[in-house]
Amino acid sequence: MLYLGLNTNNSMVVDDYYKEGKAINQRIERDRTAALLGLQASIYNADNRLAIDLSTHAVAFPPQLNELALVAQKRFATPSAIQLRWVHVTQAEKDGQMTLLPIGGSRFISHGTLLPQHGKYRLHIQPPDSAAWRLVSPLTELTHTQSLTVSAPEPDDVFDGSDIN
């Protein structure tokens, strides 16, 4: 056990809790923005390339969130690219990412890269180098032929009464 403890990397251990706490707050804000926008991404295989259609859908907001939603919707612009990350449930060395470029409207496509075939992953979708919004999938077993839809969280899941006042 001593040999394993000294010679293997435990990727699940966090060294800097302050920095991690700040990152958590940023993730919460991006999730809230995605919820206010009603964002949704459809991911599918298109001629052995990965494609994403980004869209918005109507969301029923509590009255206290209507103004925040209007502000978020006015600021929203279709990104110039989409970053897709896949995060393995336990093995960081299986994580990866790609950038998808626009092909018109709110459609984006990769250049030859597909998602991993085996293992349980969580997908993260966001504009590259941006803290504007993000979409995160539930834990998913991936296949190359599978189509996925990743939706923003419901407003009730990311806002509570203290956030609105």
pLDDT in tens, 5-15: 777 766 655 56
Q: Give the model confidence (pLDDT) of 14-69 as tens digits.
A: 566 666 666 667 788 899 999 999 999 999 988 888 899 999 887 887 888 888 88
Task: Map residue 39 onto helix, strand or coil.
Answer: strand
Q: Report pLDDT for 40.
A: 96
pTM value surpassing 0.75: yes
Handedness of CA 45, 47, 50, 54 (dihedral sign): negative
Q: Does pLDDT of 150 surpass 80? A: yes
Query: Which residue in 112, 143, 139 sits closest to 124, CA to CA?
Result: 139
Task: Map residue 40 onto helix, strand or coil.
Answer: strand
* Domain 16-164 sits in CATH 2.60.40: yes
DSSP per residue, 16-30: -HHHHHHHHHHHHHH
Please give the Cα distance from 89 to 95 (Å, whole number): 9
Name the least confident of 20-29, 32-41, 89-98, 105-114: 20-29
Q: Domain map of the chain by residue range? A: 16-164
Q: Does pLDDT of 157 surpass 80? A: yes
